Amino acid sequence: MNEIATKINDIFKKDFTSTQHLYYSPGRINFIGEHIDYNDGFVMPAAINKGMYYAIALNKTDFINFHSVDFDEKLTVGIRDIKKMTGWKNYVLGVVNEFLLLNKEVKGFDCVFGGDIADGAGISSSAAVEGGLAFGINELFNFGLDRKELALLCQRAEHNFPGVMCGIMDQYANMFGKKDHVILLDCRKIEHQYFPLKLDGYEIVLINTKVHHSLASSEYNKRRKECEEGLEILKKEKGIESFRDIKTSDELVPFKQKMGEKVYDRCKFVVEEIIRTQAAAILLQQNNLIEFGKKMYDAHEGLSKLYEVSCKELDFLVEQASANKDVIGARMMGGGFGGCTINIIKKECVVEFLSNATVAYQKRFQIDPEVIKVEVGEGTNEIRM
Ligand code: GLA
């Protein structure tokens, strides 16, 4: 057991007398395929070795006792009184609510959780919170849901309580992560394949801008609506079912006027990112990291200019990366409006690049960025004590 797991376990023993089970639930990175999980695209996430740890036990009452170690807050709630609240509470209560909506007989339990994954960094601490609890409840009550059903349950939890109309990528990566493997997820079919990640001579490094612009979730939902609006027009006028049925963004040009500038730009990005991700998946499987990295830079350009989900802090870090030939790929990662960039850097140049980029960032924004080194790890599971 690592240090955090031990800490969570010890706090549980101080708080409660019941006998607990321990679970680990990871965050994720995404190599490419951003904002297209809810647009029937392909995405390439992987679970990471950072996440949330849960200690949970049944308590033979009708009450659930939560203790969030990271927020240093507790919550006790009756099973029949589950309703929307705010902050972290919405994420855990949202999960319980979804089990109840499936008519699963949830009973009282005690739960302590916390982790080593930064909130608002774009590495999906929310999916880690949801996934660990959903997995634990499913095991403890023997509800028999499989991993795909759990991922979909967590996605619904996020829609219904925090109200972020997210796609399936984060919750899927959380459940299906595999050490040293990338997940190529087809979000139309909700099916995946794995392939080994070979980074010979290169390293993945995340740089956290440490900003999290408050419009992140409202703009996220707005992008989703804009895409739906564009797709409606394409369905009517072009007879297609999905953005996947479009082979090149040129096919969108005749509908530009009808869509309006913004919706057109969003759809152009979506179509291009879907095509780009399929090409990138082939490059990564061929171990052609150099060409793969170029696709990451292209993706950033689209996310920043057409989809408008970047921000000046993310753009600055990607500019720093692209000006350095040893950073073969970089882009913003996740929902955007802050959070991290993902960078693929030549191993022997990592230290120098990070020191230059972080100093420049500090100078420009008076914020110390955080360097996060991650490894690709396993999905949610029980930790045997
Ligand atoms: C957030 C959402 C995901 C996905 C990404 C952007 O992380 O939870 O479903 O849409 O943003 O790719």
Least confident of 30-44, 214-228, 273-287: 214-228
> For ligand 1, is residue 335 a contact (CB within 6 Å)?
yes
Using CA atoms, how far residue 123 sits from 22, 30, 221, 365, in Å, is 22, 9, 18, 22
Q: Which residues contact 137 (CB under 8 A, 6 or more apart)?
A: 56, 95, 96, 99, 106, 109, 143
Each residue's pLDDT tens digit, 10-30: 999 999 998 899 999 999 999
For ligand 1, atom 11, the nearest C-alpha belongs to 335
Q: What pLDDT score was predicted for residue 157?
A: 98
* Coil, strand or helix at 170: helix
Model confidence band, residue 53 (pLDDT cutoffs 50, 70, 90): very high
Q: Please state the rounded mean pLDDT for residues 201-206.
A: 96
- Residues with a catalytic annotation lie at 170
Average pLDDT, the chain: 96
Please give the angle made by the CA atoms of 304, 305 and 311, to the nearest 5 degrees. Answer: 35
Q: How far is the CA of 105 from the centre of ligand 1 (A)?
A: 31
| Angle in degrees, 0-180, between the axes of helices 261-285 and 289-305, rounded to the nearest 10 | 170
Q: What pLDDT score was predicted for residue 163?
A: 93
> For ligand 1, is residue 65 a contact (CB within 6 Å)?
no
> For ligand 1, is residue 295 a contact (CB within 6 Å)?
no
Q: What pLDDT score was predicted for residue 233?
A: 98
> For ligand 1, is residue 265 a contact (CB within 6 Å)?
no
Atom of ligand 1 lying closest to residue 124 CA: 7
* pLDDT at position 8 over 90: yes
For ligand 1, atom 9, the nearest C-alpha belongs to 167
Amino acid at 171: Q
Model confidence band, residue 231 (pLDDT cutoffs 50, 70, 90): very high
Q: Please state the rounded mean pLDDT for residues 265-275.
A: 98
> For ligand 1, is residue 136 a contact (CB within 6 Å)?
no
Least confident of 60-74, 118-132, 269-283: 118-132
Do 385 and 9 contact (CB within 8 A), yes or no?
A: yes
* pLDDT at position 225 over 80: yes
For ligand 1, atom 1, the nearest C-alpha belongs to 335
CA distance 255 to 258: 5
> For ligand 1, is residue 249 a contact (CB within 6 Å)?
no
* pLDDT at position 307 over 90: yes
Q: What pLDDT score was predicted for residue 120?
A: 84
Model confidence band, residue 374 (pLDDT cutoffs 50, 70, 90): very high
Amino acid at 61: T
As a whole-number percent, the residues of the chain with pLDDT over 70 amount to: 100
Strand 109-115 relative to strand 63-68, pairing? parallel
* pLDDT at position 216 over 90: no
What DSSP string describes 185-251?
A: EETTTTEEEEEE---TTEEEEEEEEEEE-TTHHHHHHHHHHHHHHHHHHHHHHH--SSGGG---GGG
Q: How far is the CA of 15 from the centre of ligand 1 (A)?
A: 35
Q: What pLDDT score was predicted for residue 215?
A: 73
Q: What pLDDT score was predicted for residue 246?
A: 97
Model confidence band, residue 330 (pLDDT cutoffs 50, 70, 90): very high
Q: What pLDDT score was predicted for residue 351?
A: 97
Q: What pLDDT score was predicted for residue 242?
A: 97
* pLDDT at position 385 over 90: no
Using CA atoms, how far residue 261 sits from 282, 302, 309, 313, 378, in Å, is 32, 15, 16, 25, 42
Q: Please state the rounded mean pLDDT for residues 253-258.
A: 97
Model confidence band, residue 214 (pLDDT cutoffs 50, 70, 90): confident
Using CA atoms, how far residue 383 sits from 175, 239, 273, in Å, is 15, 50, 37
| Angle in degrees, 0-180, between the axes of helices 125-140 and 87-101, rounded to the nearest 10 | 40
- Helix H or strand E segment including 351: helix 350-365
Atom of ligand 1 lying closest to residue 126 CA: 8
Each residue's pLDDT tens digit, 96-142: 999 999 999 999 999 999 999 988 889 999 999 999 999 999 999 99
Q: Which residues contact 206 (CB under 8 A, 6 or more apart)?
A: 29, 121, 123, 333, 340, 341, 342, 343, 371, 372, 373, 374
